[in-house]
């Protein structure tokens, strides 16, 4: 039954996972502020504000870096292809079996002359592999290739939108869970007085301890990742 439930909720796994992580981080923050702020409601809003500020600053700081690296990759993409082709040509001399992978790759006895190497790069095995992966052929029309690429970009954009919406929903759900945590905990403890008492007594302590350990581990990993990104960016 448990595996069936997990299978049914597989499409919501990312949402559930992020909600759990964000809830654990905020719940730990709320508990740590207990010695400084007695009002729990105020603590929840303070932690949520700090959490959103950290996420926003990380996003604002990293997005320009990612943009620069993406532009650099696009500008130097052709040189990357040439470099990979050169490596393939050199390996094909040492290991002739590579010619079976790239049947169009004809490797002749190469001299140390750079001009001869450039001639052998007329056929690009790397470009051929990319065309096969992207299902773009030179025999296809330009309009068909463009339409196909636009469709692929549309799919990527849809996936990015899905991940973004999931991320935002997980932040909202985690805030609501932490805000209503006392009542939710009381509702779960009431299972001890129902027909599910044996299930509650069997797994409650293990699930609680596991959730605490996992939450703290993920919190530590997230903080390390943020600090490492800031220091190395």
Question: Which mean pLDDT values do the consecutive 10-residue runs of the chain (233 residues) have?
Answer: 60 84 87 88 92 85 80 79 77 70 48 42 62 56 56 69 87 91 84 76 77 80 76 68
Same domain, 61 and 99: no
Q: Which residues contact 59 (CB under 8 A, 6 or more apart)?
A: none
Say how many domains are in the chain.
2
Same domain, 8 and 61: yes
Q: Per the domain annotation, does 145 fall within a domain? A: no
Same domain, 39 and 67: yes
Angle at 5 between CA 217 and CA 210, to 5 degrees: 20
What 8-state DSSP symbol labels residue 111?
A: -
Q: Per the domain annotation, does 174 fall within a domain? A: yes
pLDDT of 44 reads 92
Q: Per the domain annotation, does 151 fall within a domain? A: no
pLDDT of 202 reads 75
CB–CB of 120/79 below 8 Å? no
Q: Which residues contact 170 (CB under 8 A, 6 or more apart)?
A: 15, 18, 19, 21, 22
Same domain, 66 and 81: no
Q: Per the domain annotation, does 37 fall within a domain? A: yes
pLDDT of 58 reads 78
pLDDT of 119 reads 45
Q: Per the domain annotation, does 92 fall within a domain? A: yes
The CB density around residue 96, as the number of other CB atoms within 10 Å, is 10
Same domain, 120 and 227: no
Same domain, 66 and 171: yes
Looking up tokens 């719940």 gives: 27
Question: Domain containing 113: what range?
Answer: 77-134
Same domain, 63 and 13: yes
Same domain, 65 and 88: no
């Amino acid at each position: 039954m448990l595996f069936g439930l997990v299978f049914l909720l597989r499409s919501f796994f990312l949402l559930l996972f992020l909600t759990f992580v964000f809830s654990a981080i905020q719940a730990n923050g709320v508990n740590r502020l207990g010695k400084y702020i007695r009002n729990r409601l105020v603590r929840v809003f303070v932690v949520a504000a700090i959490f959103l500020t950290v996420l926003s600053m990380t996003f604002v700081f990293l997005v320009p870096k990612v943009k620069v690296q993406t532009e650099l990759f696009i500008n130097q993409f052709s040189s990357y292809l040439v470099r990979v082709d050169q490596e393939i040509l050199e390996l094909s001399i040492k290991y002739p079996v590579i010619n079976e992978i790239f049947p169009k790759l004809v490797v002749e006895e190469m001299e140390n002359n750079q001009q001869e190497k450039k001639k052998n790069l007329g056929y690009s095995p790397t470009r051929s592999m990319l065309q096969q992966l992207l299902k773009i052929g030179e025999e296809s029309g330009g309009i068909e290739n463009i339409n196909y690429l636009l469709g692929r970009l549309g799919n990527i954009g849809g996936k990015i939108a899905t991940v973004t919406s999931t991320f935002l929903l997980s932040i909202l759900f985690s805030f609501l869970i932490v805000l209503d945590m006392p009542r939710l905990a009381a509702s779960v403890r009431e299972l001890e007085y129902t027909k599910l008492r044996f299930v509650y007594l069997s797994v409650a302590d293990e699930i609680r301890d596991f959730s605490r350990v996992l939450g703290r581990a993920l919190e530590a990993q997230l903080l390390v990742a943020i600090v490492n990104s800031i220091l190395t960016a």
